[in-house]
Each structure stands twice: as C-alpha cells, then as structure tokens.
Structure 1
Amino acid sequence: MPKVPLRAAFAVMLTLTALNVPVAHADEVTPVAVTVNARAALSKVPETGLGTNHAIWDTNLGTNQTADLLKDAGMKLLRYPGGSYSDIYHWADHTAPGGYVAPNTDFDTFMGGVRRTGAQAMVTANYGTGTAEEAAAWVRHANVTKKYGIKYWEIGNENYGNGHYGTAWEADNHADKSPNEYARHVVSYADAMKAADPTIKIGAVLTTPANWPDAIVGAGDSGSWNKVVLSAAGEKIDFAILHWYPGALDKSGHIQDIIQLTREQIAQYAGPGSDRIGIAMTEFNTGSSSNGTNTQPGALAAADAYASLLAGGVFTVDWWNVHNGIGNVTEVEGHTDYGDFGLLSSGVCNADGTVCEPPLNTPFAPYYALRMMSEFARPGDQFIRAATDQPKVTAHATRRTNGDLSVLLINTSSDTSYPVALDYEGFTPAAGAPTVLTHTNGATTITTTTTGTATTQTLPPLSLTTLVLRPSAPSTGLPGAPGQPKTTQITHDSATITWPAASRGARPIAKYEIHRQNGAITEQLGETSGTTFTVHNLRPGTRYTLNVIARDTGGALSWSSPPLTFTTGTPAASACSVKLTIPTDWASGYVGAIDITNNGAPLNGWTLAFTWPRTWQSLGSGWSATWTQDGSDVKAVNEPGNGSLATGATATIGFVGNYSGPNVLPRVFTLNGTVCTLQ
C-alpha cells in the first residue's frame, strides 16, 4: 500500500454511528465464560514486539516530545524512513526525488529519537532507485562509523507494487520488475551489506497470504512472488517482511493462518535451515476508517491484532504511522474520527479549514491500545491460550517471568457492559483483588485500580481491560521448561516428536507430558520418561499444536515448552489418490484441477468429497462432475460419461474456489468414503 504525506491520506468512507444508545448493565447480562490455560503455551513476547513507523515527511519525527510519548507507550522498535519513501530515499544527502523531505528528519536525527525512546531501529534500504553499494555504505556509516548497532535491515518496501502485477505505486527503476529480478538484487544487497557488518539481519519483502497480489503468477514468472523470491534468495535472508491492512475490525481470526501459511512457504521454498527465518509485520493498521481509524473501535482491533500476531511468533508489529494527518472526518461511537492513521495527532486542519485535529502530539485511541499492550505483554513473557464464549469479548493472556499472570480482555460491544467469569488451568491465582488496568471509549488515560476478583470482573462497553494476577504460591523449585519440540516423522495418523530435556528444579524430573491445544482447552496425549514420544490416533490432514510439560518426583509441573505445530499427511497407500493443482489464482479465488486415480477395484460410480478448512471459503462453480456444497462440505458426483473408473484409471474434474481470507487448501479427500492419498 503506498504511503504518502498528509495531503494525500487514505480514502475513507462515511459512517455515522448512532449516539446515546442505552447501555445494558452487567446485572442484566449472562456472564461471559473466559478460559485461561497456562499449559497451552504460545510464543514468547519478543524484545522488539511493539513497534511503529516514522516517515521523513514528518517534521516531528525527531522531537523529544514525540520520542518521550513513544517511550511511554512502550515502543521497542522504530522503522525508517517511511513506507514507499524508502524506495526513493538517499540517506547520504537526505533527499527523496519526487517526494517531500521535512526538515530535521535525517538519519542521525532519527537515531537520536530512537535512543531517547529506548528502542531499536529497523532501516529500509532503497531498492527502487538505489543500489547495493548505497545500502552497504549506509550499514557501514550506521554500525561501523556511528556504532549505532542497527540489527534489522529491510531491502525495499512493497516492491510487488511496482507494476509487475498491473498496479504501480512503488518506485522501481529496474527495467525488469519481476520477483526474480528483486530476488537477484536481494542476494547482491545482502552480500554487500553483510560485508560491511556480518552481524546484521536482512529482510526480504513477501506478500501477505490472501492479500493482493499473493498467489498471483505474473507473466513470465515461474511462480508467485513469494515462491520466486524465497527460492532464489531464501538462503541469504534472515526474516520475511509482511504488511497487513485488513480493512475491517474483525479480521484477527485470519492471523493464525497468515502466519502458518507464510511459515509453510518459507519451509517449502527457502532451502536448508529455513527455520532460522523470522517473520516481521513491518506495517500494520486496521485500514478501516469507516469503522474508526483513530477512535476506540480501531484501538480495540489494534490490541487484538498485536496480541494475536505476537502470540503467533511474529517478532515485531509496526503501526503505520506515528503521524499521518487528517483524512475524511466522521463521527464514530460518539467521538470525532479524523480519518488519521497516526498514533499521534498532527495538529492540522482539513483542506477547507472547517475541521482541525487536536493539538500536535495528542494521543489517539490506538496509542492507548499499544500502551496497554506494553503493560499486558512484556518482553520475555510467554503468551498462553485464552478464549471466551462471547463473540463480542476477546481474551489474551501471558505468563510473566516472575510467575504472575496477565489477562487482556477486549469488549467490542457498543452498548453492553459484560460481566466475565474467569477460569484458570495450570495456574491458581492468589486471593484478593487483582491489579486492573482499563481504557474506555474516549478516555485520555489508562486507569489502574484493584477491584473485583481474579474470577469475576465487569467490562465496560468498548473497553480494554488488563488483569495482573499473583500466583497463590511462589513458583520456586520447579523444573525448567522443556526445549523447543520438533517432529522427526509424521504420517497420516501419527507423529514422532523429540525435545531438549528440561533442567531439574528442587527434585528430579519424573516424566514429560504431551498436551494438545484445542483452543484454550488442552488434552493430554501421553507421557514418557524420555525426550521422544510418538503420538498415535491422529486424524489425516489435520493441523495440531502440542506442548511438552515436565513433572518432577513431587508432582510439581514446569512451564510449558514452546509450541510445536505440524500437519498430518494422508495414507501412503490407499485405494485412491488425488492430485490438486491450481493453474490460476487471482488472490480472492482460484481454479482448482483435481486428478482422481483409482488404485483399487474397478468403480462404476463415484463421489469425491472434501471439507473447506475455513468459513471464508466456498465453491463458485465446477465441471466434469455434479458439484454441491452443504455448509462447509463439498461433493463432486460423477457425470454419466465418466462414472466408470477401471483400476489405474484417472478422472479429471475442476472447480472454482472462492476465498476472503488465507486460503488453506483442503488436505483430505475421500472417494466413496475412503481417504485418498494426496499427491
């Protein structure tokens, strides 16, 4: 998405939200059941998790007031020089031909602000109009001459937007605008930049699953942007760069699949050792001015997305932008929304001067959401599973290094105060009122109180609430957590996993327990005294997430291991086999071709069946069979002319699949009820 200064802010739609809506009180509402499971561990909170973007067209980029506000919000990473400006910016003379460069926004001024904020920097090297030599000189100036110690360096910004796929917003002076050309330069940039400082980490631009132009194959290309870039440059990079502007406030359910599909692409295409490659979301914004860009709904969506992305292992999420400027002005949930994608007010007026933003650097609602995130999830904490039975209320949780637990509760309802009843697995809270941090609609601060109990709270409408809970007993003498589990073999119904042993605590370790995550509920699959275990009775084509927990001879449990996620396959031998290929994909739908091979006795009539993995997938049309869909279940029944399948014979059928989220392909096909081998 192109990033431009104030006078060309994002287009927005007008939404007027009804005011003075009666609020349903907690005593009139069924309590929301919240489950928090300390045994279902997710990723640890990274040091660089909370980030934001700076832009060289922002005069206030390097001011002390801006840096202090970002520090107060807990920002740990600042990205420079700002979106699409990265591909026209020349750091040495601080110019951006074709764009506006504000005074006092040069690189060294930026780094002064980074240090005052107490953050790390991420720098985007100019791919569009720059060279590998220019980028290497920047690394040398930053880390050798100035001793800034900048670890993270991107190569270009949204370079798939250079016109290769038909839409152009990103500057690109290369005659060849293909992903292969970008990948070739990633290799040369990485070599030159690491020659200047071998300790840096290099990031390459990828497309975000289900977001244009993901999955599209351009003219003359051997695959999608991600396939080509990872195949050609995967061995040279240390992290993958994603950007996400979901355009709605209810898309956090896409995040797990966005991360998983990206990891699968990295594993498939990036070559040996690809598990070292991290994922960075270096631009994120709700992208939904119609529902509230800088008002409370956008803040709630921001907190939900940050928590979900970081829990999934993304090592930084960087808000677009610190200052962005006024857009289309609307009224949202009783407050003026300026259509501003910034964390802080730019203090400017609209074109005709009829509406002005609050004074410069006034925090908008998303600022408080990120500040709440810094209170909820601190570097080194471990995310754990949390869930609710009410769609309007979302829960996230972390286990802190000192044994405390924090729970983030998000009430997205405009008119209902929800009472919540919290239940804990693997953690017993201390008696008494917890520390409660709250941010409500229109508030200009986060309040801190001690109220309610560890198991009962009330959430105001449109609110963020964080509970900080002490354990009922000190967590001393416990075994250490087992190390990162890995799979050594996966079949259609089993998986063998191994893990580094846990360190003993006050007593020897007696055994290890293997737990499967089912949402916020865990199911113990087995136990062993060793560090290898084979899990049986798994379902074909199913994604599993497991944790390992150590138990000592006194019965005390360790923290959970990091999570292990894997997907089972299909039978190695079956009476049928299926091959699914996708000759065409347009990032919201695709043509699927299915080859059905009969490996058993001759068939006179057949039915192929599969289930869509996600609710946002559907059947558009089909051919060479009679296609039907019932809920998420799809069936293709033979036509009169292709119902007979001799042993070894193959029938080919096709369909159009539609999707509005990450396109997780079906992995299990049955023929007349028999699970087929997926080729």
Structure 2
Amino acid sequence: MLFRFRARPRGRTAAAAAALLALAAAALPLTAAPAAVADTAPATPDAAVTVNADAGLGTLDPAALGVNTAIWDSYMNDPQVVSLYRAAGIGALRYPGGSYADLYHWVDNTAPGGYVAPGTGFDAFMGTVKASGATPILIANYGSGTAQEAADWVRYANVTKGYGAKYWEVGNEIYGNGGYGSGWENDTHADKSPGQYAREVKAYAAAMKAVDPTVKIGAVLTMPGNWPDGIVGAGDGGDWNHTVLAAVAHDVDFVSVHWYPNAGGGDRSLAAVRRLPGELREVRDLLDRYAGADSARIGIAMTEVNAESGDGALTSRPNGLFAAEAVSTALENGVFTVDWWDTHNGAGPITTVNGETDYGDLGLLSNGSCTGGVCEPAVNTPFAPYHGLQAVGALGRPGDTLLASASSSPDVSSHAVLRADGSLGVLLLNRSSTAARTVGLAYRDFTPDGAAPAVRRWAPGDDGLVDATGTASAASATLPPYSITVLTVRPKPGTGSSAATTGTPGTPRTTAVGADTATLSWPAASGAVDRYEVYEQLGTTVQLLGSSTGTSATLHNLPPGSRHTVNVLARDQAGHLSRPSVPLTFTTGTPNDSTCTVSYRVTTGWGNGFVAAVTVTNTGPADLDGWTLDFDWPSAGQSVNSWWNADVSATGQHVRVTNGTSNAHLAPRGGTTADFGFVGGNDGANPNPTVFRLNGTVCRTLG
C-alpha cells in the first residue's frame, strides 16, 4: 500500500434472549463435565452470551496483534510510539510500508520515486522492534528488486546482525500491478501475470532459505470474494490465487491477504465483518487443495486491515469497534497475525461522526497533519482504532486459547480466551450507538469463583481503555452504547481444565477421509491420560464424535460432503478434561459408487459475481426421464441471478434445478449428460457446493 492519503481503487426480543440463555445453560456436551453459570443473570437480558471452554479456536501467536510501519513516517521510531505499542500488546511490526516495499532497497534505505523520512532505515526500525518486544514482518522488494537482493537482506538481518527476523513476504499486493487493469503497485517485470509472480516466489524462497533455512516465506494472495478474485487474465490458465498456489504451495510457509471491506461507512464496515469467516475458510480450502498434507504448516497472515479511505469513519469510534471486531474474528478463524494499516498516516476528508470529529486518517496515531485548516491533535495521540486494538490486547496474550462464544443479539458481539493462568477473558462489544445493552453470561465447562471480575472498558467519555471493575459480575454486564468491555473471570479452584493433570493434545490431522468416515491422529498429551475425546463444535455447544485410549480415532456416520470442526481433549483418571487442542476442520467426500456424478465449475468471476457451468451424468443402470438437482450454498452471500438450459429456484441457501426441455432424458451408464449454467452473485466468499442430489440421490462430486 502506498502513502495512503487517498482512496485506493477497489473494486431478538428480551424473552427470546432469556430463553436462549436458559437453553445454553442447560445444554451439556456428551460425557463432558457439567457447565456452570455463576450468580443470577438478568431476568430479561438484551443478549445471552455463551462461552464454551471445550471448543477451542486456536492459540494466540506472539505475532497475533500487529501494526504496519512505513519508511515515509518520520515519527515511526519515536519512544512514545514504543510505549504505546507495549501498552496495547502489539506483537508484530510490518516494514517497510505496504506498496513502498516494491520500491524499497534496504541496503541504502531508498525508494526511488517515493519519499523516505530520515531515521527510518532498517536498523532503526529493528531498534523499535526490540524496544517494543515485537516480531518483525518484512516485505522483500518484488516490484523492482531481485531474489539476490532479498537473500542479501536475510544475510544482513540474521547472519551479520543476528536479528532473527522470521517472517518475509515476497512483495505487496502484486495483483495490483496493472495486469488486471488497475495498477497501483510498482512492478518492473515485463510479465505481470500470476504465473510470473509464482516463478519469482520460488526463486526468492530458494535464495533466502539458502542463507537462513529457518526463515518463513510468504506469498501474496487476493482475499476471496474481493477484486481481482475469480478474474482470469488474457493468456492465463486461472485466476491469481489458483495460479500462484498451484505453483508455490510447497515452497512457502504462509500466505498474505489484505482486507478492506469498502462497505461505505463505519457501521457498515463493522457489519461487513460477518464476511470474514467464510473468506478465510476459502483461503484454507485453497491451501488444502494445493498443498495437501503441507497445508497444516502453512499459516495465513492478514498483513493489512482497515476500513477503506472515504468511508467517513476512520479515527472515530465506529472504526475502533471495527478494529476490535475484525482483528478478533480473523484470529478466531485461523489467522496468526493481523496487522493494522497503519501506525501514522495523515489527515484526509474531515467529517463529523456521532458528534465526533473524524480526521479521515488511516493511522492508529495522529501525525499532527491538517486538512482545510482543521488539524489533528498532537502527534502520537491515539485514535479510536488504537483503543480497539488495545482491547484485543487486554483480552488475551500469546499462548492463550481462543474459545467459541456467541451472542443472541445482533447488537452484541462476544469473543473469549482461556488464559494461561486458567482465567477466562471475555470481550463484549455493543455496536448500538444509542442504547445500552444488558448481557447474561453462561459458561460451559468453566465455573467462575463467584468474585467480581476485573473489568476494562472503552465507552464514550472514557479516556482510552479504563478500569471499570465493579460494573459487572461473572453472570451479567451492562454495556454502554458504542462500547467495548473486557472481563477477566477467575475459575473456582479445582474446576475446569485448570484441574486436569494432563497437558493439551497436539494438533490433530486427518489420515483418511471417506464419504461418511474420517480417521484422525494427534500427538499425545503429557501426563497420565485415561482417554482422548473428539468433540465437534456446533456453535457454542459440542458433540462427542468419538473417543480412544490411543492417539487416533475413526469417526463414523458422517453425512457425505459435510464440513466438521473438531477438537481433541484429554481426560485424566479423575475425569477432568484438558484444554482443547488446536481445531481441525475437514469435509467428507461423496460416494464413489453413486449412480450419478456432478461436475461444478466456476468458469469466470469478477470479485462479487461469477459464471458457473454444471454437468450432470446418470451412471446408474436405468433411464431417467425428468430430473431435479438440489444443492445448498456454503455461504449465505451466494445466489443465482440468471440461468440457461434448466429452471432454477432458490429458498434461502437451498437451490433446486429442474431439467430443461432439451435435457430431460438422461441415458443410463453415462450415455448422455445434461449441461446447464447460471450467473451468480457472491457477497464475500464463493466456495463450491459440496453435495448434489439428483432425484434425491447423493451424487459423486467431481473435482
């Protein structure tokens, strides 16, 4: 990303809540320890929030909470900035600054065609990294650099200076090099195609790892459902993501995506976070497809995130709420680092948002610049997104376990972690700008100690994240309008995973997946394990799918083409359950011996729309005269808009296709096929349907 002063081209009732709270408190995981709810919740809360300590979403990485830094920022290395990083729990700093990376030559700290501020060279940056206790994420110059230049930087950083820089991206937003018609990224290669980028990534990775085999190399992807996802350039065999991953999936250690929702406003950006889980699932599905068994070791980094320039809420409260919600959601969905764009930027269009001046600045901190005679506050004054990130830092620290949580109200969001000391962190966000919300809290396999929790809060009138202990109990909280509240709930001694005498099982993986079975294995937990139990996440409830006295299990009676997210927990001889393992998500196959097959292909796309071609084949022994094909969209944002060679109807995410006049007859044993297609839309990710039923029979889905 370039020096961002301008927009870039981008294309329930109370009674119901109370009922849900009662249901959540009553639900129990099969054979698991009983859930507990402390104190007395409000009789009619506005929202029922449930946290499940047995449903793990992953572990917070040391680099989880990150920020971008830039060589054009003269305040980048201020001591006050270091103090603010530490106070917010910032664990990663990305350098040298978005699109400037593809201009930047590290050896002499220059960026031909761009401005470089004094005192922003690599060693100065690493001084800030060390002082703040963060991890560097470095961007090697792809646009005007070479693999040798990148390897020399690795040598200087890790051999000569001993910095131990671990994460290295190859370029920044290279899909914006003009190859798809819109060009903001510097790229001096004559060939602007994804194939050329993939070839260079392989060369960069080989050269850099020859110097230091421990470095982690990242390749640039476009976020699914965002431009230019789905677009196939002239002469290319596929779109950016498919072309790049087909070539480099076994050469890289992580992939880098950026997310700017471009939703048109602060509250709309906040609402757009609902798209993130599906988009990130599609990134992981792509890695599974192209990397196979290697997928488990490849991380996902969201190295830039913010609301878009011109959205009218960048330094004011809506973007602070967006920062907390987007970062927490990304971390819960498999991202190991989320890096806010950026530390300092500069004033843009001045607006008023809910009575608050918004300076149109994409930075976390003020740089004191002015627009039309209106000036920002003093340099390094935190803007609202800083307080949003600070709340996430207060929620959890590296090594803590992210947990599944859910709220019954669209106005209230919840996020939770199980901390290393056994306490529970719960972040509650009230997105209503005008009304307070009361929340009833329920817990599964976690028993609060009965004491008042520690409370930190950022609400209108608060000077940043303040101590508000005494304003909530473990069972209830009242959330001011437009606020973030972080609770620290301590466990009753001798309960929950803190009482277990075993460690946590290692990360599970699939060793075989069929149409209705899946076999998993995992590294053993420390301590005396009585048995291991595999639980499937069903929102904030869990279901026991299998158990084993060893470190593998086969799960049976799974529906064909179904997606499952599971955790493995160890149970000790006293009956206590350990913390949940890192989650594993897998999808079962479809039956090889079915009497029909379906091929579904997206032939072209443009970010928020696509064309699909479908072929149906009758492989059974009898003729079919007239047919229907049923399937379900994996994502709520997918739809069919127009079609040909068939009739299509939809109810919610369910789609039914009925034969056309020319393809009603399907001869047996593949004698004839029925082809049809449609134009679809997608608000967010666009994954392929996994299960098709022809006249009620589950078909074999062809890849």
TM-score bucket of the superposed structures, by smaller chain: over 0.9
What's the counterpart of residue 293 of structure 1? 314
What's the counterpart of residue 18 of structure 1? none
Give the superposition deviation at 1:392: 0.8
- Code of the residue aligned with 2:381 in structure 1: it is T
Deviations 1:529-577 (CA, angstroms, capped at 9, x unpaired)? 3332222222222211011222222222211122111011212221211
Give the superposition deviation at 1:442: 5.1
User: Whole-Å Cα distance in 1 between the matches of residues 183 and 233 of structure 2?
Assistant: 14
Matched, 1:433 2:452: yes
- Code of the residue aligned with 1:4 in structure 2: it is F
User: Whole-Å Cα distance in 2 between the matches of residues 644 and 262 of structure 1?
Assistant: 38
User: Whole-Å Cα distance in 1 between the matches of residues 315 and 300 of structure 2?
Assistant: 27
Q: Please state whether the residue corresponding to 1:111 is helix, strand or coil.
A: helix
Give the superposition deviation at 1:631: 2.3
CA 1:28/1:270 → structure 2, altered by over 3 Å: closer, same or farther? closer
What's the counterpart of residue 403 of structure 1? 422
What's the counterpart of residue 502 of structure 1? 525
User: Whole-Å Cα distance in 1 between the matches of residues 450 and 293 of structure 2?
Assistant: 51
Give the superposition deviation at 1:410: 0.6
Out of 446, 456, 463, the residue aligned to residue 476 of structure 2 is 456
Q: Which moved more, 1:49-58 or 1:525-534?
A: 525-534
What's the counterpart of residue 297 of structure 2? 276
Matched, 1:251 2:275: no
Superposition map of 1:304-323 within 5 A = 304-323=325-344
What's the counterpart of residue 36 of structure 2? none
Query: Is 2:7–2:308's contact at 8 Å kept on the other side of the alignment?
Result: no
CA 1:5/1:565 → structure 2, altered by over 3 Å: closer, same or farther? closer
Q: Which moved more, 1:123-132 or 1:468-477?
A: 468-477
- Counting matched residue pairs gives 659
Deviations 1:586-616 (CA, angstroms, capped at 9, x unpaired)? 2211111111111221111111121222221
Query: Is 2:102–2:143's contact at 8 Å kept on the other side of the alignment?
Result: yes
User: Whole-Å Cα distance in 2 between the matches of residues 51 and 391 of structure 1?
Assistant: 28
Q: Please state whether the residue corresponding to 1:678 is helix, strand or coil.
A: strand
Out of 474, 483, 496, the residue aligned to residue 506 of structure 2 is 483
Query: Is 2:344–2:366's contact at 8 Å kept on the other side of the alignment?
Result: yes
What's the counterpart of residue 59 of structure 1? 74
Q: Which moved more, 1:306-315 or 1:339-348?
A: 306-315
Matched, 1:447 2:446: no
Consecutive unaligned residues in structure 2, runs of 5 or more: 11-40, 263-268
Out of 370, 384, 395, the residue aligned to residue 349 of structure 1 is 370
Superposition map of 1:527-566 within 5 A = 527-566=547-586
What's the counterpart of residue 165 of structure 1? 180
Query: Is 2:270–2:325's contact at 8 Å kept on the other side of the alignment?
Result: no
What's the counterpart of residue 575 of structure 1? 595
Q: Please state whether the residue corresponding to 1:153 is helix, strand or coil.
A: strand
Query: Is 2:312–2:358's contact at 8 Å kept on the other side of the alignment?
Result: no
What's the counterpart of residue 670 of structure 1? 693
- TM-score, L = length of structure 2: 0.91
What's the counterpart of residue 623 of structure 1? 644
User: Whole-Å Cα distance in 1 between the matches of residues 207 and 664 of structure 2?
Assistant: 60
Q: Please state whether the residue corresponding to 2:493 is helix, strand or coil.
A: coil
- Code of the residue aligned with 2:246 in structure 1: it is S
Deviations 1:340-396 (CA, angstroms, capped at 9, x unpaired)? 11000111110x32x111111110011011111111110000001000100110111
What's the counterpart of residue 63 of structure 2? 48
Out of 309, 320, 323, the residue aligned to residue 302 of structure 1 is 323
- Code of the residue aligned with 2:394 in structure 1: it is E
Percent of paired sites with the same residue = 51
Out of 203, 210, 216, the residue aligned to residue 218 of structure 2 is 203
What's the counterpart of residue 661 of structure 1? 684
Matched, 1:147 2:162: yes
- Code of the residue aligned with 1:328 in structure 2: it is P
What's the counterpart of residue 3 of structure 1? 2
Give the superposition deviation at 1:66: 1.7
Consecutive unaligned residues in structure 1, runs of 5 or more: 13-25
Deviations 1:407-444 (CA, angstroms, capped at 9, x unpaired)? 01111011111111111001101112000110013532
User: Whole-Å Cα distance in 2 between the matches of residues 422 and 58 of structure 1?
Assistant: 44
Q: Please state whether the residue corresponding to 1:231 is helix, strand or coil.
A: helix
User: Whole-Å Cα distance in 1 between the matches of residues 365 and 568 of structure 2?
Assistant: 43
Out of 354, 366, 372, the residue aligned to residue 333 of structure 1 is 354
Matched, 1:75 2:90: yes
Q: Which moved more, 1:284-293 or 1:198-207?
A: 284-293
- Code of the residue aligned with 2:541 in structure 1: it is I
What's the counterpart of residue 640 of structure 1? 661
User: Whole-Å Cα distance in 1 between the matches of residues 445 and 293 of structure 2?
Assistant: 37
Query: Is 1:437–1:465's contact at 8 Å kept on the other side of the alignment?
Result: yes
User: Whole-Å Cα distance in 2 between the matches of residues 166 and 128 of structure 1?
Assistant: 17
Give the superposition deviation at 1:253: 2.2
Shift >6 Å, 4+ stretches: 26-29
- Code of the residue aligned with 2:557 in structure 1: it is N
Query: Is 1:291–1:298's contact at 8 Å kept on the other side of the alignment?
Result: no
Superposition map of 1:595-610 within 5 A = 595-600=615-620, 601-610=622-631
User: Whole-Å Cα distance in 2 between the matches of residues 476 and 274 of structure 1?
Assistant: 34
What's the counterpart of residue 20 of structure 2? none
Q: Please state whether the residue corresponding to 1:113 is helix, strand or coil.
A: helix
- Code of the residue aligned with 1:545 in structure 2: it is T
User: Whole-Å Cα distance in 2 between the matches of residues 268 and 199 of structure 1?
Assistant: 25
Deviations 1:290-316 (CA, angstroms, capped at 9, x unpaired)? 352111111111111111111222111
Matched, 1:417 2:436: yes
Give the superposition deviation at 1:288: 6.3
Deviations 1:476-524 (CA, angstroms, capped at 9, x unpaired)? 45222222222222222222222222222xxx43222221111111112
What's the counterpart of residue 18 of structure 2? none
What's the counterpart of residue 22 of structure 1? none
Q: Please state whether the residue corresponding to 2:655 is helix, strand or coil.
A: strand
- Code of the residue aligned with 1:621 in structure 2: it is S
What's the counterpart of residue 174 of structure 1? 189
User: Whole-Å Cα distance in 1 between the matches of residues 547 and 296 of structure 2?
Assistant: 27
Give the superposition deviation at 1:196: 2.5
- Code of the residue aligned with 1:246 in structure 2: it is P
Q: CA RMSD in A?
A: 1.9
User: Whole-Å Cα distance in 1 between the matches of residues 555 and 605 of structure 2?
Assistant: 36
What's the counterpart of residue 472 of structure 1? 492
Give the superposition deviation at 1:333: 2.1
Query: Is 1:388–1:395's contact at 8 Å kept on the other side of the alignment?
Result: yes
Query: Is 1:291–1:297's contact at 8 Å kept on the other side of the alignment?
Result: no
